[in-house]
Structure 1
Amino acid sequence: MTSELTGGWAPRVWVGAPAPGGLALPAAHPTAAHLYSPRGVHLDASHLVVADSGNHRVLVWHGVPTSDEQPADVVLGQPDERTEGRAAGGRGPERGMAVPCGVLVHEGRLVVADAWNHRVLVWDTVPVTSDVAPDLVLGQDDPAAVEPNRGRGCAADSMYWPFGIAVVGGRFWVADTGNRRVLGWDGGLPDHDRPADVVLGQPDAAHREENRGGDVGPDSFRWPHDVTGTDDLLLVADAGDHRVLGWTPHPGADGPAGTVLGQPDLRSAEEWPYGPHTGDRFRSPYAVALLDGTLAVADTANNRILLWDGVPADGRAADHVLGQPSFAANGENRWSAVDRDTLCWPYGLSLHGDRLAVADSGNNRVMLWGRS
């Protein structure tokens, strides 16, 4: 691929099992270097954190990996690096996880969206040893509880499949995917049991219907999955409606988005699986990341990453594409061999400086891309 097509981005370091030419099957007994369908990733100057979703665990590298297949330093959610499964070695959810997805380090605290346990976990510091229990559980009555919406009705303090998390504009945001809404807490990470201050996508905290029980619109979600933005812009990847919605300024209450990417208007939800492909239509965009004017969208089911030089206000096509030979292609691993610059269902993104971390879920790896 040309540098102009990719915007100067190129793959640097591969974390996960090797896949010489073909798809790597997940290991029957994982190690600290193996991944199985990773869905979330966080990158900063001091850490790489990966939601190793298929192994029901989170891996932490202290320091950014510098070599391929480098093993993680810390394993959370399992008693050791070779155990997998939702039961966490038979000990229950107090230390275990079920399909963790979103991961985040904010002000020195590690945050994990433990999606299928319908909760968010918080460690007051990023653990330096494995098998450490979280210090705080959000969305459940106690660390042993795992029922959707706390086993009660949908409310401002409950969750159902929370997949994405972010701190944007001073608020802590959760893409509460199964409730088809986005929750926001003023002042950052909340205390246990505190209800959300903002509920986006539903008429009130008790409702959870797809697209508010009607047609797609500027104030509805089908499958909100990730959140990013700046101090004056909030972006939500609404994967089920094949679009990214934007609010400027940040909404202080439920209300319509003002901009959309991936659709011609705010009332369209057309899936775009077949050609001719372009850079302005999506198919199940599960992740979105924004940093210093670079916008990245994981166009997951089209097996590509779309990049914009600046956030478009008019829905224009992307400036660059990763993982495909052109904007017109969408094949898994380009319908060819697995290579360093191919993608198969990219599910999570994280931007930091001149690095882009991609949770390349279908290839059971995370690839760190660099920009020259």
Structure 2
Amino acid sequence: MSAPEVIEGDVAAGWAPRTWLGAPAPGGLALPPAAPTMAWLYSPRGVYLDDRHLVVADSGNHRVLIWHGVPEEDERPADVVLGQPDGTSEGPAAGGRGPEHGLHLPTGVLIHDGRLIVADAWHHRVLIWDEVPRRSGRRPDLVLGQPDLGSAEPNRGGECSARSMYWPYGVAVVGGRFYVADTGNRRVLGWAGGIPSSPDEPPDLILGQPGPAEREENRGEGVGPASFRWPHGITGTPELLLVADAGNHRVLGWRPHPGGDRGADLVLGQPDPYTAAEFPYGPQRADRLRFPYAASLDGDRLAVADTANNRILLWHGVPTASGQAADAVLGQPSFTANGENRWSGVARDTLCWPYGLWLHGDLLAVADSGNNRVVIWQRA
């Protein structure tokens, strides 16, 4: 049974924008410059935040930016750029220099145990630095999904296998297991021992497909609790794994974590695990999602980027029931609204296609992709 519709509620829940990183918005539009800078962004899709770092996948500029220290002033330039030779260059593979030198639409970013992890989606690989770089241009120490840094073919240039990737968009470490949202293969890969130590170390878990060679949408069948269309963001707790299945307009949850391929126990954004309807583009609800690309759970608070509805939904406790409605909404004046920038100009508290987010205590970093910026929100 779906949760009841919520028209008005705890709209901002004490959250307010604190820091704006990226292009300003003269005349109500936030546009990137003709040439990149270390301060401005172009369609960022991934973000990570902790006490000492902010990491942004500046996807449209095919680079990753790192701030050492959480920025507190607007438009502060980043300290480090990866994927480009300098802070004013752009283009896939470092402007055509090759995948060994650059990135192609990086999306997921993560720091875990002092290591930086980047999902280099259109190079069909995940890159790992053994420490967070403090200088620009440093090359990664390990590549997953490809045999070496110079290779960038989908599924290693062959058929889908346990060791190959096709558009990996999301990365996470949850409950000690390292996860990759292998989006183009419509599956999630998991390594129980944590981050692999070599490119050839296969995952012990393939979730969403019946075997390592299969890659069809929704397993080639109708949507169900064990299938994906576009798995993207991954988050959770040691007891709960959550995957944002953007193409099916839902978030799936497994409690406990799956030891093998099995159906989810929880679904958010849809009335049941067999429904994947896109809720009509009109008045929205607190229990529906449209293309949710990211989710972040910290403590007992869950945030989901409800991307096509131009809003962030918040649950004040870890959801326990399928169809559970959100408790608060950011970026819109109510749960029913969903306009890009509220059908007005760009303001500090508006959103336009938020693709990525990261909850860290009372801070929430949002990759507000359509507005070419990252905004750090703070809870009073």
TM-score bin (small chain): over 0.9
Report the Cα distance in structure 2 between the residues aligned to 1:348 and 1:17, rounded to whole angstroms: 17
Q: In structure 2, which of residues 232, 242, 250 is the aligned counterpart of residue 225 of structure 1? A: 232
Among candidates 18, 27, 37, match of residue 33 of structure 2:
27
Kindly provide the amino acid, as one letter, of the partner of residue 371 in structure 2.
N
Opposite residue 121 of structure 1, the aligned amino acid is L
Identity %: 71
Q: Does 1:355 align with 2:363?
A: yes
How does 1:219-258 map onto structure 2 within 5 Å? 219-258=226-265
Equivalent in the alignment of 1:70: 76
Contact persistence 2:83–2:93 (CA under 8 A): no
Compute the displacement of 1:188 (Å). 1.0
Q: What is the alpha-carbon distance in structure 2 between the residues aligned to residue 233 and residue 212 of structure 1?
A: 23
**Residue aligned with 2:370, SS:** helix
Other-structure match for 2:286: 279
Q: CA RMSD in A?
A: 1.1
- Is 1:322 the counterpart of 2:321? The answer is no
Q: Which residue of 2 aligns with 1:214?
A: 221
Q: Please list, as runs of the form range in 1=range in 2, the aligned pairs for 1:116-127 lying within 5 A after superposition.
A: 116-127=122-133
**Could you tell me how far 1:132 is from its partner in structure 2?**
0.8
- 8 A contact 1:95–1:134 mirrored in 2: no
- Deviation per CA, 1:274-317: give whole Å up to 9, x if none: 23311000100000000111000000000000000112222221
2:116 matched residue in structure 1:
110
CA contact (8 A) 1:343 1:360 kept: yes
Match of 2:316 among 305, 309, 314: 309
Q: Deviations over 1:114-170 (max 9, x none)?
A: 000000000011000101110110110110000000001111111000000000011
Three-state SS of the structure 1 residue aligned to 2:93 is coil
2:88 maps to 1:82: yes
Q: Where does residue 340 of structure 1 map in the other structure?
A: 348
SS in 2 for 1:6: coil
Tell me if the contact between 2:9 and 2:328 (Cα under 8 Å) persists in the aligned partners.
no
Question: Could you tell me which amino acid in structure 1 is paired with residue 338 of structure 2?
Answer: N
C-alpha deviation, 1:3, in angstroms: 9.8
Question: Residue 219 of structure 2: SS of its match in structure 1?
Answer: helix
1:140 to 129, 132, 146: 146
**TM-fit CA distance, 1:89:** 4.0
Aligned to 1:203: 210
The answer to whether the 8 A contact 1:79-1:89 is kept is: no
- The aligned amino acid for 2:375 is M
Query: 3-state DSSP class of the match of 1:240?
Result: helix
CA offsets per residue over residues 228-260 of structure 1, 9 Å max, x none? 000010000000000000000000110000110
Unaligned runs of 5+ in 1: none
1:316 is matched by which residue type in structure 2?
Q
Which residue does 1:94 correspond to in 2? Answer: 100
SS in 1 for 2:94: coil
TM score, norm. by length of structure 1:
0.98
Q: Which residue of 2 is the match for residue 291 of structure 1?
A: 298
Letter in 2 for 1:246: G
- Distance in 2 between the 1:277 and 1:184 partners? 34
SS in 2 for 1:296: strand
After TM superposition, the structure 1 stretch with the greater mean CA deviation from structure 2, 270-279 or 292-301, is 270-279
Q: Is the 8 A contact 1:21 1:339 kept in 2?
A: no
Residue of structure 2 equivalent to 1:300: 307
Say if 1:273 and 1:302, in contact at 8 Å, map to a contact too: no
Which aligned runs of 4 or more in structure 1 are off by greater than 4 angstroms?
none
Corresponding residue number in structure 2 for 1:56 = 62
From 201, 211, 215, the counterpart of 1:194: 201
The alignment of Structure 1 onto Structure 2 pairs a total of residues equal to: 371
AA at the equivalent of 2:58:
D
Q: Take 2:280 and 2:115, find their aligned partners in 1: how far apart are those partners?
A: 39
Superposition TM-score, scaled by structure 2 size: 0.96
- In the alignment, the residues of structure 2 paired with residue 219 and residue 242 of structure 1 have an alpha-carbon distance, to the nearest angstrom, of 15
Q: 1:164 aligns with which of 136, 145, 170?
A: 170
2: distance between equivalents of 1:273 and 1:14? 31
For the residues of structure 2 that align with 1:273 and 1:45, how far apart are their CA atoms? 40
SS of the residue corresponding to residue 334 of structure 1 reads helix
- Counterpart contact for 1:77–1:96, Cα < 8 Å: yes
Runs of 5+ in structure 2 lacking a partner?
1-7
